[in-house]
A and B are shown apart, each in its own frame.
Chain A
């Protein structure tokens, strides 16, 4: 019973925030606005889903924002040069997978701390994006390309924005992997006690490499959504997104020490951050103050959670 309550906590936090914001701003609880919130949240939520895998293995991935930017730029370049849309998307995802795997290899085979390894990739890919784009946005041209991007950005499936549907699909798959498959169990085992996992016959290096690869893939999928929004790839796209993703995971109750947490908490964490951003805009809070409010809410949420866990 108690344990169940603890698990429901991030969700209760979300409900509380929805109630408070609804009272403060009458424009909040409208269908249109809620869909906007969901659409805005989808990007962070998809990145955070990948981050959850990494954090569950007791790692961290700082490179997601840069992977997002770089794969977006590659995708935009290919589209502009007339590559088939599906192929361009696959290429973007491949970029994410390759650099995610690169992180994983450096961390497991090179025995480099995840923080440092992914920091290096973060800087490397941001630089590569700048070089590749010459520091200027790449605007996507060509009819079929722009149409597809517009569909992703503004289209709907059964009244739900396409990006939100993508987010839901991602989370269903991630949930399934983490809770119903051998790989998911291994992720928890590696994060909980790597040595014990190794002695239990878990290929711990492979588990970690895959986690970073999943994180890279999801970051590049988020990159495609970001690209679709503006129909152009910005050289700074994704800058700082890693922090929002980490915040969403932690708000969702996943321990940075690894081994403990749930993917559903991550959706809730991402929602809390998304609603907060939306509400601060609706309430016309000046952007500098927004940062301060966000920081305070995150701190309070995490502190409440910790206090409970120490008992």
Chain B
């Protein structure tokens, strides 16, 4: 059993209208991974932001190696050995990978000029350790979200730290990348570092964590050994009750086609054809970078189409902008809520209604009473945790932000709803709520295209699944025939073919 490195006692923190943390305690142990679990808005990120100097605590104390620790700001926390990988990426988009890794602690010569070659080499080493192939001289905005996440991890690794906090690090990673990350975590354990691991994926907790601490509504609930607890019990600690079946799949029996895509081709996707029935959930599976989001955005009118056509309810359609797509009943919810999904500076209500303001138009201006009433309905319907509807969205927890983005899309009452990683960062209870919502949408006769990297979700909720790779459709499976092996086979076969053709 590991020695206790970190101890947080009696930590409380309030924001206007919310008590985010209430007398919380938290420990981390040498060479162990401590999972920090709880529902969206339970206070996990807030607790870790206090530890890493982003927020100041109202009360309580922090002990590192038995000595009381005062963290003044994030830089101070770094210097004292606490590294954090934030839930929301914190990279400067137009700086290069290596510049981001060394941001704030650049290596210089005695003449104060930058040792660029040295930093590039060191960055390369760190990335190699993560087994990711990223050129350190590329700019952040030139690499994929998943790779950005790996850079964020590399940044934390490069520090000489004793505690490493990972706030939902696997959110944007593929299974393969998750495996690599877990290997790194095992190495870090061997180096006797203490790791704090926040995730909503309980499977991962059982794979990599040694203990769990559970928070609920800002309060400490329990600390347990992973070996002495099961999934059901963890969920019970988190949500305060037991949940029934995780995937409430609902079979639909329609045969009428609503939406059809024929030979869609552009810069990002090649020859895409599929059709969607009324009340159907079509899952799109594939690796990150398979062109799934690009396909969604192309349908949504964001990227121009070179060839092919789209047919909605028997009529040929063409959208020059998302505005036109929405007007025609097609809506897309981005996987990247921070930079594409939400206007963080606006309040909850204004975000929910942003795509549907025409519904609130009256002779002069907007009907704000109606706007409030309807936003409130949605807040209740999908259980968005916020003190008021006028709270700025940037002050909500990650999962609740995601629910706001979904509420916005539902309010447009789309005939075809494209959900890109809809449950990313969402807790077990809320996931279940979103799946229930999928069923409601189905029953109302609307259709969903669900892009997801989470295999259980794809298998659990889709009526049909198409598998994409490198911008092309590689296979289609019905609910009955689909297994995760079959899906992976489509992808792997393709990868092998590619490698073979390269060799020959």
Contact assessment for B345 and A203 in the assembled complex, using a CB-CB cutoff below 8 Å: no
Interface window among B44-52, B102-110, B236-244, B357-365: B357-365
Q: Is the CB of A199 within 8 A of B334?
A: yes
Chain A's nearest CB lies how many Å from the CB of B431? Answer: 23
**Nearest-Cβ distance from residue B6 to partner chain A, whole angstroms:** 27
A179's closest neighbor in chain B, by CB? B365
Contacts A1-B16, A182-B358, A203-B321 given; does A196 touch B326 at CB 8 Å = no
A306 an interface residue at 8 Å Cβ cutoff? no
Interface string of A95-127 (1 = CB under 8 A from B): 000000000000000000000000000000000
- Any chain B CB within 8 A of the CB of A82? no
Question: Are A201 and B343 in contact, CB atoms less than 8 angstroms apart?
Answer: no
Q: Is the CB of B364 within 8 A of A176?
A: yes
Cβ contact within 8 Å between B354 and A193: no
B342 CB contacts on chain A under 8 angstroms? 193, 196
Contact with B along A160-190 (1 / 0, CB 8 A): 0000000000000000100011100110110
Contact of A185 with B345 at beta-carbon distance under 8 Å, contacts A180-B365, A199-B302, A202-B323 already known = no
From B16, B340, B345, B364, A2 is in contact (CB under 8 Å) with B16
Q: Are B339 and A185 in contact, with the CB atoms below 8 A?
A: no
- B187 at interface, CB cutoff 8 A: no
Query: Smallest CB-CB separation from B325: which chain A residue?
Result: A201
B354–A202 CB distance below 8 A:
yes
Residues A203 and B354 in contact in the complex (CB < 8 Å), given A2-B16, A189-B346: no
B3 interface residue, CB < 8 Å from A?
no
Q: Which residues of A contact B304 (CB under 8 A)?
A: none
B5 interface contact, C-beta 8 A: no
| Nearest opposing residue in chain B for A2, CB measure | B16
The reply to whether the CB of B313 lies closer than 8 angstroms to some CB of chain A is no
Q: Does B368 contact A (CB under 8 A)?
A: yes
Is B344 part of the contact surface with A, judged by Cβ < 8 Å? yes
> B337-358 vs A: 1/0 string, CB under 8 Å?
0011111111000100111011
Asked whether A3 is an interface residue with its Cβ less than 8 Å from the other chain, the reply is yes
Establish whether residues B340 and A259, one from each chain, have CB atoms under 8 Å apart when the complex forms: no
CA–CA, A188 and B327, complex, Å? 21
Please give me the residue from chain B that is nearest to A188 by CB atom: B346
Could you list 29 examples of A-B contacts with CB < 8 Å?
A: A3-B16, A176-B365, A180-B364, A180-B366, A180-B368, A182-B361, A186-B357, A188-B345, A189-B343, A189-B350, A192-B344, A193-B339, A193-B342, A193-B343, A193-B345, A195-B339, A196-B334, A196-B342, A198-B322, A199-B302, A199-B332, A200-B343, A200-B354, A200-B408, A202-B354, A203-B321, A203-B323, A259-B345, A259-B346
Interface residues of B (CB under 8 A from A): 16, 300, 302, 321-323, 325-327, 332, 334, 339-346, 350, 353-355, 357-358, 361, 364-366, 368, 408, 412
9 nearest A-B pairs in the assembled complex, by CB-CB distance? A180-B365, A192-B345, A192-B343, A201-B326, A182-B357, A259-B345, A201-B323, A193-B343, A200-B355
